[in-house]
Structure 1
Amino acid sequence: MGPFDDVEKLLIGYLQIDSTTGKEKEFADRVAVDLEHAGWHVQRQPLDNNPDRFNVLATTKPNASPRLILNTHFDTVPPFIGPTEKEDSIWGRGTNDAKGQMVVMMAAADQLRREDPSLADQIGLLFVVGEEVDHVGMTKANEFNVSPEYLIVGEPTEMKFASIQKGAMKVKLKARGVAGHSGYLTSGYSAVHILVNVLKDVLDYKWPESQKTGATTVNIGKIEGGQALNAWAEYAEAGLFFRVTTSIDDITQKLEAIVKGRVEVDVWNFNEPVLLDEPPIKTEMDPVSFNTDLPFWHGLEKLKGRYLFGCGSIKNAHSKDEHMPRNELKECPSVLIKLMKELLK
């Protein structure tokens, strides 16, 4: 039995370490030492502005150039929640996002090393900091001297391979009115009224949708405006979050056409959707509506294969109910091994 084969025990041990974003050091040290004790060659890559935060790249030999990289992240969202066990699941912060992904990748890689050393020489384990906040770890990881052909990112996808990582677009719609006494219709006009009408049109619009990519969706997450109940609102704004399946330009153009100049459109943060590859194994595929480190890998367009896959569900991640089904945790390494063998044969 290999050092990482008992994925349940390994995960429970890792869950006892607080690795909320910015506090990854203790957990990263533990993982690096575990890999070194198992015979892996480990490179630590500190961030430029904080050497206590570092990425880890593990390969079977020094100076290796892996054709395939397994990637996930050290950090979790706050607050820290230690592990508890139930008969069919393990609970706690990071069980599925993403310490569970890390342990199954370690188990799969190490089992492959024992079964087929020459194949394992072609893989690398890349674990990074900061994914949950600003992707600073993956951005830094581009400085590793590696150019893989295949990248497998571990996130909780319910044992399905993602067909697309939807893009993200954050928008402010800014409406301007003329202040005046609201008892008199001719004394001014309300920015709130303008904004409400625009938002209705945005919600009523049929945004792009396809079987492969799923639907572009929009959430009106925040509305602010007005200065008094008895005054026409001089200013109002709404914050919108689009999950994009086409392109940022496409959704921006459609939004501008809906707005028709009634409000100002301020696209203040975005990343494009990432279309993912169909794996060479029999499996289910499904679009995902969450962000990962994938867009921050500079060689993304040069890859032969881009995959997003993992055990557990994003639907309970980041919550007090975050948990990992034991059956998925134990099944996941075999799926990764099968995929790696097919890609590298």
Structure 2
Amino acid sequence: MNQTVNILDDLIGFASVSRDPNRMLIDYVADKLASHGVNPVIIPDESGKKANLYAVTGPNIDGGVMLSGHTDVVPIDGQNWTKPAFTCTHEDGKYYGRGTADMKGFVASSIASFIDATHLELTSPLHLALSYDEEIGCIGVHSLIDMMGKSKYKPAFCIVGEPTEMGLATGHKGKTAIRADCQGREGHSALAPMAMNALHLACDLVSEIRQMQAELALHGQKDDDYNVPYTTMHVGRIEGGIQLNIVPNAAFIDFEIRNLAEDDPIALLASLKERITPIIQAAKKTAPEADIQFTITNTYPGLDTPKEAEIVSFMKLLTGNNSTIKMAFGTEGGLFSRNLGIPTVVCGPGSMDQGHKPDEFVSAEQLAQCDNMLAALNQRLVKGI
């Protein structure tokens, strides 16, 4: 536990907000592993200022378990912190600081466990995967997945340590982020009916999205393992216009689809396009250039590991949990499962109720539970899985 806490202290000290470099943190981890005889693979981005890290200890064979975590955190801008955000504060059985729950607590425990594993006679390997830019759409991990896809050996299981209060999560929704560019025709507001207001087009589109959401809630696929048991469509941003007496000729909205495994976000987008066709056609009667164009800006798949899968039974033995959960928020787990075929679950210390908020924390009890789980994992890897 002391080793985990010491590492957590160091990790929180790196202000690895997604918009900023994480390379100092990655180099810190690499140096720490190198001091125990492991030379990790560092996969930098084009700038060299951000990087993923991948390390393996134990025999060079297929199988074993991969511990996966992201190193970036969300900003603290505009938040009222009462404790220093980038210093780990130990108080009342809790560890405060940006990223303690999401998810440097798990990363610290994983690094400590990996170091311990380097001194054991493992029969099955232990893999460690650390990524960047997860918080802005699981972007950085793709180069790590590409590297793993070309590797001779592949882990049998993956544990993504997002905060689940050490609950065993077998699924999460997929996410598709979309920008809709609305094209109208400018004009003087005194003659507004002779122009085509792009903001009005955007609002008509928002109305259709809201109607689709209502239909999904009432009649769509259901999965009661989720707290919101249906696919959701959400508009997060709308922008357009210059000043009040000009009819805007352009506007855009950013919206997302968070889909159950049973729903195809591309099919939902196609349905939305079909629904707005009459709106666009009516607008073209006034302004032939009127249009709404969609661009998918980011997408990642959901995770839907069967409850009867071997990894679920394996994790139940490690954690003592007999039940499973599903989570509304996304992780990199769906990418490991879909792109590499690695059975994946999500299980980590802390709660997302604390994530992204001021005075974020993970409890000492949760961190100890994670350490115990990973210690049990190491013993399984000694015996072989």
Q: Could you tell me the TM-score, scaled by structure 1's length?
A: 0.80
Describe the shift of the 1:190–1:73 C-alpha distance in structure 2 as closer, same or farther (beyond 3 A).
closer
Distance 2:52 2:248 in 1: 50
154-163 or 199-208, which deviates more: 199-208
Is the 8 Å Cα contact of residues 195 and 237 (structure 1) preserved in structure 2? no
Secondary structure, counterpart of 1:41 in structure 2: coil
- SS at 1:210 equivalent: coil
Residue 94 in 1 paired to residue 99 in 2?
yes
SS for the counterpart of 1:90 is: strand
Structure 1 equivalent of residue 269 of structure 2: 252
Which of 7, 10, 26 is the aligned partner of 2:4? 7
User: What secondary structure, in the 3-state scheme, does the structure 2 residue paired with 1:42 have?
Assistant: coil
* Residue number in structure 2 paired with 1:285: 324
Query: What code does the residue aligned with 1:211 have?
Result: D
Task: Check 1:198–1:299 CA distance in 2 against 1; reply closer, same or farther (3 A cut).
Answer: closer
% identical equivalent positions: 21
Higher strand share: 1
TM-superposed deviation, 1:90: 0.7
Cα distance, 1:94–1:332 mapped onto 2, change above 3 Å: same
Task: Output the CA distance in 2 between the equivalents of 1:51 and 1:233.
Answer: 41
Matched, 1:211 2:218: no
Asked if the contact 2:164–2:349 (Cα under 8 Å) also holds between the matched residues in 1, the reply is yes
Tell me which amino acid in the other structure corresponds to 1:324. Answer: V
Q: Deviations over 1:208-265 (max 9, x none)?
A: 4312453212221122345665676655443212211122223224434543542536
Q: Answer 1 or 2: which has greater helix percent.
A: 2
Say what the alpha-carbon RMSD is for the aligned residues: 3.5
Aligned to 2:147, the other structure's residue is in SS state: coil
Distance 1:297 1:196 in 2: 33
Correspondence for 1:326: 364
The one-letter amino acid paired with 1:210 is D
1:36 maps to what in 2?
34
Equivalent residues of 2:336, 2:344 under 8 A apart:
no
Contact conserved, 1:142 with 1:298, CA < 8 A, in 2? Answer: no
Whole-Å separation in 2 of the counterparts to 1:71 and 1:217 = 27
Matched, 1:268 2:275: no
Name the residue aligned to 1:316.
354
Please name the residue that 2:80 is paired with.
none
Larger mean CA deviation between 127-136 and 329-338 belongs to 127-136
The answer to whether the Cα contact below 8 Å between 1:157 and 1:313 also exists between their aligned partners in 2 is yes
TM-score under structure 2 normalisation?
A: 0.73
Partner AA of 2:276 in structure 1: V
Q: Which residue identity does 1:329 align to in structure 2?
A: L
2:102–2:355 CA contact under 8 A, matched in 1: yes
2:173 to 133, 153, 166: 166
Equivalent-residue separation in structure 1 for 2:336 and 2:224 (angstroms): 27
Equivalent-residue separation in structure 2 for 1:235 and 1:51 (angstroms): 37
Residue of structure 1 equivalent to 2:24: 26
Displacement of 1:177 in angstroms is 5.8
